[in-house]
């Protein structure tokens, strides 16, 4: 049996925390615990250095980062920081669109843009040409959740294999 991957989840906090918690609770892989709302407010009010320090601490001992892509995730300062840091630290990186999962009010949202389109390697190639971003199939929130639950371990594993190439 394969070992559970240690995963760092990257997501746009305010609009996607509920959807992200659904994915983290799948339990197929070992993920970082999110900062409770109060802690996150304190961290963000403490400035960029405090945010970087918190992110860096959360990423320790992780083998990959899964970006949970919502409607407004792409090209956000801290999402980009987490993606670049993950890649530069030799971690696997992948994305999973979560727009099809219901939020706390029971709503789904529009699909966001691939966040890896905004990051370019030194050779000019976009990260999206190397890193995969998965769009779960299904007709409703439950079917998409089931898809994520079924494939998230393989996605994490594949992201590490891609990074090691």
Residue that is written with structure tokens 């929130």 in the block: 141
Query: What CATH number labels 6-164?
Result: 3.40.50
Domain ranges of the chain: 6-164
- Helix and strand element counts for the chain (H, E): 5, 5
Distances (CA, A) of 157 to 2, 17, 33, 63, 126: 10, 24, 20, 9, 22
Q: Which of 65, 157, 75, 164 is nearest to 120 (CA)?
A: 75
pLDDT in tens, the chain (165 residues): 455 678 999 999 888 988 998 898 887 666 666 555 567 778 888 999 999 999 999 999 899 999 999 999 999 999 999 999 999 999 999 999 999 999 999 999 999 999 999 999 999 999 999 999 999 999 999 999 999 999 999 999 999 999 998
Say how far residue 113 (Cα) sits from the centre of its chain.
Answer: 14
Q: Are strands 64-69 and 92-97 parallel, antiparallel or unpaired?
A: parallel
Residues 117, 114: Cα–Cα separation, whole Å: 6
Residues 44, 27: Cα–Cα separation, whole Å: 28
Give the pTM. Answer: 0.92
């Amino acid at each position: 049996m394969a070992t559970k991957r240690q995963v760092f989840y990257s997501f746009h906090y305010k609009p996607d925390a509920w959807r992200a918690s659904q994915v983290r609770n799948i339990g197929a892989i070992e993920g970082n615990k999110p900062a409770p709302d109060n802690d996150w407010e304190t961290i963000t009010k403490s400035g960029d250095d405090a945010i970087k320090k918190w992110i860096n601490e959360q990423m320790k001992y992780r083998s990959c980062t899964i970006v949970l892509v919502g409607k407004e995730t792409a090209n956000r300062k801290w999402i980009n920081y987490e993606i670049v840091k993950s890649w530069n630290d030799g971690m696997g990186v992948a994305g999973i669109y979560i727009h099809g999962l219901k939020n706390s009010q029971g709503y789904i949202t529009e699909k966001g843009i691939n966040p890896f389109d905004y990051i370019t390697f030194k050779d000019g190639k976009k990260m999206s040409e190397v890193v995969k971003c998965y769009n779960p199939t299904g007709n409703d929130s439950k079917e998409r959740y089931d898809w994520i639950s079924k494939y998230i371990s393989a996605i994490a594993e594949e992201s590490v294999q891609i990074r090691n190439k």
